[in-house]
C-alpha cells in the first residue's frame, strides 16, 4: 500500500513538473488547422510545395503542418531559410532520413548523416573532387561524356529523353570510381539507375508515390506478418542489395589501387591517402551518393531544358544566335563549354538559370533541429523536422509575376539578382552546412550539356497525323526529385557542319 501511494505521489509530482515546464517555455510554432485525418495533404493535382507556397501568403513564411502522424515546421521564404540554415546552421544542420530510407539502409553515407564527425569527413571527401579548384582535373571527363551524349543523340534523336540519364550518371560514375561506362546496357549503369530510382521512391514526400511508413513511423515496429507490412520486406531487400552494390564498386577500386592500375577518381585519391584520413565504410557508402544524390537532379534539369526548348522556340533561337556569333569569333571548330565560354554567353547562362527556376529538380528538402531553439518567440524542439520549400522562393509572384512562364530574359540585366535573394543557381542547391556538395559540378555539367546541345541540335514540337503541332503538357512526377513525364518532341541536327563538329570531337577522344 505504501509503495502504491509512493508511486502515485511520484506520478503526480512528475505531472505537475511537466505542466510547469510547458507553462514556462516559449509557445510552439502554430500548426495550421485541419479537419482531415490525413492532415495537411493538398488536393489531388496540387503538389505539396505549391500548396505550402500559397499557404505562406496567408499564414506567414514559417508555420506548422501535420501529415498523418508527422508534425513538421515549414520554411517558405529566402529570409527565413537563411535565418534558420545559415545564421543558425549549427542548430539546423541535422537531416533525418525518411523512415523508409532508414529501413533500406539509405541513411548511411553523408546525405542523412547525423554524426558531426562523420558528416565533416564525408563532406571533406566529396570536396576533394567537387569544389571548383578540384573540378579542373575532371574537365576532360565532362567533355568526353558530353561528346558521347551528342553522338548518341545524333544516332537516335527520337530517344533523347531516354539517353539523357546516361550523361550525368556516366560522369558521376567516372568521378567517383574512375569507371567509364560502355553503353546504355552497361551493367554498372543499370545498377546505378536502379539505386537512384529506389532512393527517389524511398524519399518521396507524397502518399501516392512513396511509402506510408514515412508518415506513420510506428508501423516500422509492427510484425512483418501483419497486413500492410510489405514495405518491411521491400526495405530489407533494398538494404541488402544497396550494401552489396556499394561494396562491389568500392572493392574494385581498392583492388585496383593495390595493383597500381586504378584510374583517377575520388575513391582512388582517398584510398591512396597515406594519412588514413577516411573511414573506409563511410567512403564506400558516400561514393554511391555521388550518383544517387546528384545524377538524377541533373537528369531532371536536362529533361526540363528539352521541354522548355520544345515549348519556347524563341528562347532556343536567341540562345543559338548568341552561340553561333560567339563561336564564329572565338571557338570555330570546337564545342563550347562552361570553363571557356560562360562569360561570353550571357543569354545561355540566363537560360540555364531559368531552367533551374522554372521546374527545379528538388523543390523541397528537410532539416532537423539538433537542439531546442527559439525562433521569433516560438520554441522549435530538438528533433523537429523542418520542410525547406525552395520552390516557393523561385515562384514567388511578388518577384516573378509571370512565374509559370519560361523567360530567360528576366535574368539578363541583373536587376532580379541585385534586388532579390532568388538566384536559382544558389537557392536550388540548398543553404548552410548542408548545401549540395556537388553544386559546382552540376552547374558546370548543366551549362556544358545545354550549350553543346544547342550548338548541334534543333528541338521542335512533334506533329500529329494532320500536320498540327503537338504541344506537350508540363506534367511532372511528384517525388523528392521531380522530372517531366515523357513528352513528344523532334530533335534534328542543325546542319552538316554541326554533325561534323561531333564527328571530329569523337575522333579526337577516341
Distances (CA, A) of 342 to 33, 194, 297, 319: 48, 34, 21, 12
At 10 the pLDDT is 45
CB 394 within 8 A of CB 427: yes
Residue 489, annotated ligand binder?
A: no
- pLDDT band, residue 41 (cuts 50/70/90): confident
Instruction: Give one DSSP letter per residue of 274-332, joined into a string.
Output: TT--S-HHHHHHHHHHHHHTTHHHHHHHHHHHHHHHHH-HHHHHHHHHHHHHHHHHH-T
Q: Degrees (nearest 5) of the Cα angle 217, 218, 220?
A: 75
Q: How many CB atoms lie within 10 A of CB 82?
A: 16
Among candidates 193, 203, 104, which has minimal Cα distance to 480? 203
At 19 the pLDDT is 43
Provide the total of helices (H) and of strands (E) in the chain, helices listed first: 22, 8
At 189 the pLDDT is 80
The pLDDT tens digits of the residues spanning 71-80 come to 899 999 999 9
Does the pLDDT of residue 374 top 80, yes or no?
Answer: yes
Does the pLDDT of residue 5 top 80, yes or no?
Answer: no
Instruction: Give one DSSP letter per residue of 474-506, joined into a string.
Output: --B--SSS--BPP---EEEES-HHHHHHHHHHH
Q: Which domains does the chain have, with CATH numbers?
A: 23-509 (1.10.630.10)
- pLDDT band, residue 129 (cuts 50/70/90): confident
Average per-residue pLDDT for the chain: 89
Q: At what angle do helices 295-311 and 313-330 cross, to 10 degrees?
A: 110
DSSP state of 185: T
- pLDDT band, residue 6 (cuts 50/70/90): very low
DSSP state of 396: -
DSSP state of 157: G
Rounded-to-integer distance, Cα 340 and Cα 4, Å: 80
Alpha helices in 60-165 (DSSP H): 78-82, 99-103, 116-130, 132-135, 139-155, 160-163
Q: At what angle do helices 187-202 and 280-292 cross, to 10 degrees?
A: 90
Among candidates 342, 327, 431, which has minimal Cα distance to 139? 342
- pLDDT band, residue 276 (cuts 50/70/90): low
Q: Degrees (nearest 5) of the Cα angle 234, 171, 510?
A: 130
| Environment class of 210 (CB within 10 Å of its CB; exposed 0-12, middle 13-18, buried 19+) | buried
Rounded-to-integer distance, Cα 118 and Cα 124, Å: 10
Please give the biggest Cα pair distance in the chain. 97
Amino acid at each position: 500500500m505504501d509503495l502504491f501511494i509512493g508511486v502515485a505521489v511520484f506520478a503526480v509530482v512528475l505531472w505537475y513538473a511537466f505542466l510547469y515546464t510547458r507553462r514556462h517555455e516559449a509557445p510552439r510554432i502554430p500548426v495550421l488547422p485541419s479537419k482531415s485525418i490525413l492532415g495537411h495533404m493538398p488536393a489531388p493535382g496540387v503538389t505539396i510545395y505549391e500548396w505550402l507556397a500559397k499557404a505562406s501568403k496567408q499564414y506567414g513564411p514559417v508555420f506548422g503542418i501535420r501529415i498523418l502522424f508527422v508534425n513538421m515546421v515549414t520554411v517558405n521564404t529566402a529570409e527565413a531559410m537563411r535565418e534558420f540554415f545559415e545564421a543558425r546552421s549549427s542548430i539546423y544542420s541535422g537531416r533525418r532520413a525518411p523512415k523508409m530510407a532508414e529501413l533500406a539502409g539509405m541513411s548511411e553515407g553523408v546525405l542523412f548523416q547525423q554524426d558531426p564527425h562523420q558528416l565533416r569527413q564525408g563532406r571533406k571527401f566529396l570536396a576533394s573532387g567537387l569544389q571548383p579548384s578540384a573540378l579542373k582535373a575532371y574537365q576532360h571527363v565532362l567533355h568526353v561524356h558530353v561528346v558521347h551524349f551528342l553522338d548518341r543523340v545524333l544516332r537516335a534523336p527520337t530517344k533523347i529523353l531516354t539517353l539523357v540519364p546516361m550523361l550525368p550518371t556516366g560522369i558521376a560514375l567516372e568521378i567517383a570510381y574512375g569507371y567509364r561506362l560502355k553503353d546504355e546496357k552497361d551493367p554498372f549503369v543499370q545498377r546505378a539507375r536502379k539505386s537512384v530510382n529506389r532512393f527517389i521512391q524511398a524519399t518521396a514526400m507524397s502518399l501516392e508515390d512513396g511509402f506510408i511508413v514515412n508518415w506513420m513511423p510506428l508501423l516500422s515496429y509492427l510484425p512483418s506478418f501483419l497486413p500492410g507490412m510489405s514495405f518491411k520486406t521491400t526495405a530489407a531487400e533494398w538494404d541488402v542489395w544497396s550494401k552489396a552494390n556499394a561494396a562491389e564498386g568500392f572493392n574494385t577500386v581498392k583492388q585496383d589501387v593495390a595493383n597500381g592500375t586504378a584510374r583517377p577518381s575520388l575513391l582512388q585519391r582517398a584510398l591512396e591517402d597515406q594519412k588514413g584520413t577516411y573511414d573506409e565504410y563511410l567512403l564506400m557508402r558516400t561514393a554511391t551518393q555521388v550518383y544517387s544524390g546528384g545524377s538524377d537532379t541533373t537528369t531532371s534539369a536536362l529533361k526540363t531544358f528539352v521541354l522548355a526548348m520544345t515549348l519556347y522556340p524563341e528562347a532556343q533561337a536567341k540562345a543559338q544566335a548568341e552561340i553561333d556569333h560567339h563561336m564564329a569569333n572565338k571557338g570555330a571548330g570546337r564545342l563550347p563549354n562552361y570553363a571557356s565560354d560562360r562569360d561570353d554567353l550571357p543569354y545561355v547562362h540566363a537560360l540555364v538559370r531559368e531552367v533551374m527556376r522554372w521546374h527545379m529538380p528538388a523543390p523541397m528538402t528537410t532539416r532537423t533541429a539538433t537542439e531546442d531553439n527559439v525562433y521569433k518567440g516560438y520554441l522549435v524542439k530538438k528533433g523537429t523536422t523542418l520542410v525547406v520549400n525552395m520552390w516557393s522562393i523561385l515562384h514567388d509572384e511578388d518577384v516573378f509575376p509571370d512565374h509559370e512562364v519560361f523567360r530567360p530574359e528576366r535574368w539578363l540585366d541583373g536587376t532580379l539578382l541585385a534586388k532579390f535573394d532568388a538566384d536559382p543557381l544558389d537557392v536550388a542547391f540548398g543553404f548552410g552546412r548542408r548545401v549540395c556538395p556537388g553544386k559546382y559540378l552540376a552547374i558546370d555539367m548543366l551549362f556544358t550539356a545545354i550549350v553543346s546541345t544547342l550548338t548541334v541540335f534543333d528541338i521542335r514540337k512533334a506533329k500529329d497525323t494532320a500536320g498540327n503541332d503537338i504541344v506537350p503538357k508540363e506534367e511532372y512526377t511528384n517525388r523528392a526529385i521531380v522530372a517531366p513525364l515523357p513528352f513528344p518532341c523532334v530533335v534534328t541536327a542543325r546542319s552538316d557542319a554541326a554533325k561534323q563538329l561531333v564527328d571530329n570531337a569523337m575522333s579526337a577522344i577516341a
